[in-house]
Amino acid sequence: MPSFAELTTEFLDAEFADSPVRASGLGLTEYDEQLDDLSESAFERRSTTDTQWLQRYRAVAEGSLSFDEQIDRDLVISILRGRQIVDDFEVWRRQPDAYLNPGMSGIFSLFLHRLRPMDELVDAAVARMKLIPGNLEDGRRNLRPEMVPAIFLERAANQARAGARYVREILPAQTDEDAQRAKLADAGEAAASAYEGYVAFLEEMRPDARGDYQLGEERYSALLRQKELLGFGARELREKGQRAYDELALELTRCARELRGTDDWKRVLDELNEDHPRTPEEMRIGYEDWTERARVFLREQKLVSFPDGEECAVVPSPPFQRPVLAVASYMQPPPFSDKMLGHFFVPFPPDGASEDEIQKRLASNSYPGIPTTAVHEAYPGHHWHLVMSKANPSRLRQVYRTPYFSEGWALYAERMMREQGFFTDLRHEMNQYEATIFRAARIVVDTSLHMGEMTWDEAVTFMTTKTGLTEPTAKAEVTRYCAWPTQASSYLTGCLEIVRIREAFFAKRGSSDTDALRAFHDGITSSGGLPIALAERAVLATAY
C-alpha cells in the first residue's frame, strides 16, 4: 500500500493530466499548451477511474492518518462521490457550453496571471487555440438533441459569439510585438471560425432540442448529503430557504418603513436601484472605491489578519463571460504560484446589448448595493478567503473547494460586516438584507427547478417579484441555476452553517471578543474551502 502522501500525489497527477486547463489555472505552467480531452471515450474513462479512486481512498485506514490527512481523505471521497452521483445524468450530452469553457478560460487565464514570459504565453495560447476546433467537434458528436434543454442553446451560442470576438479581436492586442500579434491573430482567426461554426450547429439543433435540465430530487439530495456533507436533503433545504426568506422580509420591511414610511420593501429597493452608475466604467470605479473602504475597515477593526503582498484588482468581466453571467465574480491568484493578485470582475454588459438592457443591468449594480458586493467578492469575501487559504500546506485543499463553503463564506462576510457596523447608511444595510433574501430566493428556486416543481418562466417571475432583480438579470440567473444545480443554494446554506460553527468556536474558546472573532476568521479560512462538516472539524481543533 502506498503512503497517503504517495496516493495523493498519484491522484493529483492523474487529475492534472485529465484536466490540463484546471492544472494551468492552478499555476502549473507545464500544462499551458494542452486542452482537456472532451471525447466520448474520455468521459467514459473518467467515470471508471473515479470509481477506482474512490475505492482506493475508502480503503485507507483512518488510524494510519494524521488529523489533517483524515480531513483530506474525507475531502477526496466527497468530491468523488459528487461525481458519481451525477454520472448517469450525462451532463456532457446536455450542456453545449461544456465544449466552450476549457478553450476560453484556458486562454484567458494565461494572460490574466502572466506566469511566463510573453513569447511563451503567446506560443501556449496558439497551441490551445489550435485544439479548440477539436473540442467543438467533440461537442457536435457528443451532444444529443433529445437531451439538450432548449434554454441552453442561446446561452451557449452567445458565449461562442463572444469567444469568437475575443480570440479574433481582443486577444492579439495582449502583446505589442508584431510577430507575436500576428501569431495570435492567425490562430485566433481559425478558432473564431470554429466558434462561428459551432453557433451554426447549435442553431440547427434548435428545432430538435427537447432535453430536461432537472437533476431530480434524489440526485440533488444525495449531493447535499454525500458531497456537501450536510444533514438534510433538497426538500428540507427548500423549507429552510423559505423560512429564511420570510424572516429577512421582516428586516426589509423595517428598513423600508425607516427609509420611506412604507411596508413595500420591494418598491423601495426598486427606487434605490435608480441610483445607479450610468456607464459600465462608472460602475467599475464605484466597486473599486468600496473595495478599498472594506479593506481599510477590516484593518482598523482588526477583524482579520492579512497575508503579505495580497492585492485585489477591480476589472471588467471577460468578454466571453458577459453573455452567461450577469453578476460580479472573482478569480483567485494561482494557488501553486507566488502570485497574490486576485481579480474582482465587474459585470459588464455583453457586446450588442441595447441601451435599455445596459441600463437595466446597471440598475442591478446600484450605488446602494455596491458596498455589499465589494465585501462579498473582495474583503473579507472571496479574495481575502482565497489568499488566506494559499498558506495551507495541503495540495488537495488548494485544488478542491466547495461553493457551500466559499460562497457561504462570502455571504457570511457580508453579514459579519453588517454586524460590525461597516454599513452605516441604512440604504446599504437594506441592500445587504436584500442580497441575503436574494440568496434565500435562490434556494427556493433552485430546489424547485430541479425537483420539477417550478418551470423556467415561473422561476424568472419568482426572482423578479420576490427580489430586486431586473428581468434580464433574472433570466440569466435562472438559466445558470438550470445548468449548475445545487450551486445557487450554496450561499445562504453555507452562511448559516458558518454562523453556527462560529458559535461553537466561541463556546469552546470561552470568549467571543474581537481576538476570538479574528482567530475564528483566520482559522476557518486558512483550512481551505472544505465541505461544511470538515471545515467545522478543522476550525474547532484550533479553538484554544
Residue-by-residue DSSP string for 76-115: HHHHHHHHHHHHTT-GGGT-GGGGTHHHHHHHHHHHHH--
Residues paired with residue 312 on neighbouring β-strands, in sequence order: 342
Q: Are the C-beta atoms of residues 355 and 348 closer than 8 Å to each other?
A: no
Q: Are the C-beta atoms of residues 82 and 54 closer than 8 Å to each other?
A: no
Q: Do 142 and 241 share a domain, yes or no?
A: no
Q: Are the C-beta atoms of residues 478 and 431 closer than 8 Å to each other?
A: no
Q: Do 319 and 393 share a domain, yes or no?
A: yes
For residue 266, what are the contacts with CB-CB under 8 A and spacing of at least 6? 465, 468
Residue 215 lies in a domain: no
Helix, strand, coil distribution of the chain in percent, nearest 5: 70, 5, 30
Q: Are the C-beta atoms of residues 184 and 171 closer than 8 Å to each other?
A: yes
Q: Do 243 and 195 share a domain, yes or no?
A: no
Q: Do 178 and 283 share a domain, yes or no?
A: no
Distance between first and last Cα of the chain: 36
**Cα–Cα distance, 269 to 372 (Å, whole number):** 14
C-alpha cell recorded at residue 425? 447608511
Helix (H) or strand (E) holding 315: strand 311-316
Backbone angles phi, psi at 307, to 5 degrees: -65, 150
Q: Do 201 and 284 share a domain, yes or no?
A: no
Low-confidence ranges of the chain (pLDDT < 70): 324
Residue 349 lies in a domain: yes
Residue 223 lies in a domain: no
**Cα–Cα distance, 190 to 168 (Å, whole number):** 9
Residue 217 lies in a domain: no
Structure confidence at residue 257 (pLDDT): 98
Q: Within a 10 A sphere around the Cβ of 186, how many other Cβ atoms?
A: 13
- β-pairing verdict for 311-316 and 341-346: parallel
How large is the angle between the packed helices 234-260 and 490-509, nearest 10 degrees? Answer: 90
Backbone angles phi, psi at 330, to 5 degrees: -145, 145
Q: Do 474 and 380 share a domain, yes or no?
A: yes
Q: Do 242 and 171 share a domain, yes or no?
A: no
Residue 64 lies in a domain: yes
Q: Do 203 and 238 share a domain, yes or no?
A: no
Residue 333 lies in a domain: yes
Q: Do 275 and 168 share a domain, yes or no?
A: no
Please state the pTM of the whole predicted model: 0.94
Longest dimension (CA), the chain: 70
Considering only CA atoms, which of 386, 521, 397, 335 is closest in space to residue 71? 397
C-alpha cell recorded at residue 93? 450530452
For residue 111, what are the contacts with CB-CB under 8 A and spacing of at least 6? 121, 125, 171, 174
Buried b (16+ CB within 10 A) or exposed e, 121-131: bbbbbbebbeb
How many structural domains comprise the chain?
2
DSSP string computed for 335-389? TTSS--EEEEEE-PPPTT--HHHHHHHHHTT-TTTHHHHHHHHTSSSHHHHHHHH
Q: Do 306 and 183 share a domain, yes or no?
A: no
Q: Do 76 and 189 share a domain, yes or no?
A: yes
**Cα–Cα distance, 532 to 493 (Å, whole number):** 10
Residue 383 lies in a domain: yes
Q: Do 315 and 447 share a domain, yes or no?
A: yes
Residues paired with residue 342 on neighbouring β-strands, in sequence order: 312
Considering only CA atoms, which of 396, 413, 299, 391 is closest in space to residue 340? 391
Structure confidence at residue 485 (pLDDT): 97
Residue 224 lies in a domain: no
Q: Which residue range forms the structural domain that includes residue 238?
A: 234-540
Region for 60 from its dihedrals, namely left if φ exceeds 0, alpha if ψ lies in -120 to 50, beta otherwise = beta
